[in-house]
Amino acid sequence: MLRTLMRLDAFQSRFVEADVGPVMLSGGPGVGKTRSVVARAIQLMLLGVRPDDVALLTPHDHLVPHLKAELEEIPQRFRQRRPLLEREEGDIDQLQRAVQLGTQIFVGTPYQYAHRLLRDHDAGPSTVWTDDDAIAAIHELERTLPQVYGIPYEPGRGTARRFFHWQGEVKLLPPVNPAPPIPVEGWRQLHNAYDQERNQQQACDRYDLLAEARRIVDRLNADRHDYAARQRPHFLIDDFQDIPEAAFWLLDALCGRQQSLSVAVDPGQPAALQQAFRPLETFRGTYLRAPEYRLMASRRSTPVGNPRGGTDRSPRQAGSPETLPGICGAG
């Protein structure tokens, strides 16, 4: 019945109905990965998982409303297709309950999930910098630290976003193909100055959220004898190829022994090909027995241009993280 409700083909259904545990779905843009991930969230509801134990995540803040809309549209879709569903075998009332419960699932970014976890354990920071706040601080440091680059400061050069990529993904290595080239020592100096400025203002950025949440989880796992396993979280991640390394290991620690991590990836995206952290290879190496399912372009279910409502979709560039407006209000 879920297959009919969500209009899944046989390939998508195999991913949706896979056993609880780590599983990967891959395919190009527009082949139905997002719909499959959302359908798997409803499948978890059918299996009796509580909405509070499920999180539907994307690394990109601007795609969060799209995922929420996908979930919120399912009850209306159920009402429209109920006559067709009633002709099939299965408990239609159970499916209806699962659809309603699905609207209560947490939807957001890994950073927002980490912030919620910190608040739940009374460890939430008082001030969280959005990307705009952090970029403004970096631009000010660029003006006051000309020796970092050995070249005059040039507004609009995009250094701040490449710095985020370096800080969040590569640590003590320069970003991939920076233009103009910036010495590694320059990145270290900028990193140290940025940390000092952030500490003076008693603020944290999105990578601080991930790191602090990981420390909390590690401590709880040690103090409470596998806290993560007793929490029984299930994570579903769209655009997994763009996830930062710190976010992956936080979710891995939260999964515990259950390891319920369902991911959808576009292996052809630049971020998946260029960034130093390789989410696909790391997932495969971490979950050796995880099944993988591939959706082919010939079975495309959404427009090629932009499967999220537009026609101007262009490949995301490595080192260009999305902004995080309102991260403090994420819950």
pLDDT band (50, 70, 90) for residue 184? low
Question: Mind listing the pLDDT tens digit for each residue in 41-98?
Answer: 999 999 999 999 999 999 888 899 999 999 999 999 999 999 999 888 889 999 999 9
pLDDT band (50, 70, 90) for residue 163? low
pTM for the whole thing? 0.76
CA distances in angstroms from 211 to 144, 202, 247, listed in the order given = 28, 16, 8
Mean pLDDT of 90-111: 93
Predicted local distance difference test score (pLDDT) of residue 171: 40
Closest CA to 264 of 77, 4, 1, 12: 12
Q: Are 66 and 53 in contact (CB under 8 A)?
A: no
Output 300 or 6, whichever has higher pLDDT.
6
Mean pLDDT of 23-31: 92
Given a cut of 50, whether residue 318 has pLDDT beyond it is no
Given a cut of 50, whether residue 319 has pLDDT beyond it is no
Predicted local distance difference test score (pLDDT) of residue 133: 81
| CA–CA gap between residue 37 and residue 27 (Å, rounded) | 13
Best-predicted range by mean pLDDT (120-134, 160-174, 283-297): 283-297
Strand ranges in 81-163 using DSSP code E only, listed in sequence order: 106-108
Instruction: Return the half-sphere exposure (C-beta side, CA atoms, 13 A cut-off) of residue 144.
Output: 11
Output 126 or 154, whichever has higher pLDDT.
126
Given a cut of 90, whether residue 238 has pLDDT beyond it is yes
Given a cut of 60, whether residue 325 has pLDDT beyond it is no
Mean pLDDT of 173-199: 67
Strand ranges in 105-242 using DSSP code E only, listed in sequence order: 106-108, 234-237
Question: Mind listing the pLDDT tens digit for each residue in 280-317?
Answer: 888 999 998 899 999 976 554 443 333 343 333 333 33
Look-up of token digits 């009850």: 75
Given a cut of 70, whether residue 181 has pLDDT beyond it is no
Q: What is the mean pLDDT of the chain?
A: 77
Predicted local distance difference test score (pLDDT) of residue 228: 55
| CA–CA gap between residue 94 and residue 92 (Å, rounded) | 5
| CA–CA gap between residue 276 and residue 166 (Å, rounded) | 9
Question: Mind listing the pLDDT tens digit for each residue in 213-223?
Answer: 888 888 887 77
pLDDT band (50, 70, 90) for residue 323? very low
Predicted local distance difference test score (pLDDT) of residue 129: 81
pLDDT band (50, 70, 90) for residue 253? confident
Phi-psi region of 296 (alpha: psi -120 to 50; beta: other; left: phi over 0): beta
Predicted local distance difference test score (pLDDT) of residue 327: 32
Look-up of token digits 């046989």: 10
